[in-house]
Amino acid sequence: MISAEFFNSSIERAMDVLSEEYSPKIKVVKDLSASAVFILALMALVSGLLIFFRYISRLI
């Protein structure tokens, strides 16, 4: 997860270097990289739930 966030930050900074003024194309690139991090976070959550489900179900 942390490495995905590093990639997202580096993509955002690279886009800022390319153009300091607003660009709809750069906004799309930034939004896509942020959504990729969000999807990876959801996948990590689902993986954690699948791995620890039997332990969590005992507590409930």
Predicted pLDDT of residue 60: 79
Predicted pLDDT of residue 56: 85
Through-space distance between the first and last CA atoms of the chain, rounded to whole angstroms: 28
**Given a cut of 90, is residue 59 above it in pLDDT?**
no
Amino acid in position 12: E
Instruction: Please state the rounded mean pLDDT for residues 10-32.
Output: 95
Binding residues for ATP: 12, 30-31
Helices 24-59 and 2-18, packing angle to 10 deg:
170
Copy the structure tokens of residue 56.
Answer: 């969590």
Tell me the average pLDDT of the chain.
Answer: 94
Binding residues: 5, 12, 30-31
Told to judge if 20 belongs to the known catalytic residues of this protein, a careful annotator would answer no
Copy the structure tokens of residue 47.
Answer: 């993986």
Number of structural domains found in the chain: 1
Residue 39's pLDDT band (boundaries 50, 70, 90)? very high
Rounded to two decimals, what is the model's pTM?
Answer: 0.79
Q: What are phi and psi of 19, to 5 degrees?
A: -155, 125
Copy the structure tokens of residue 58.
Answer: 């005992």
Binding residues for substrate: 5
Which is the catalytic residue, given 4, 5, 7, 26?
5
Residue 15 belongs to what domain range?
Answer: 2-59
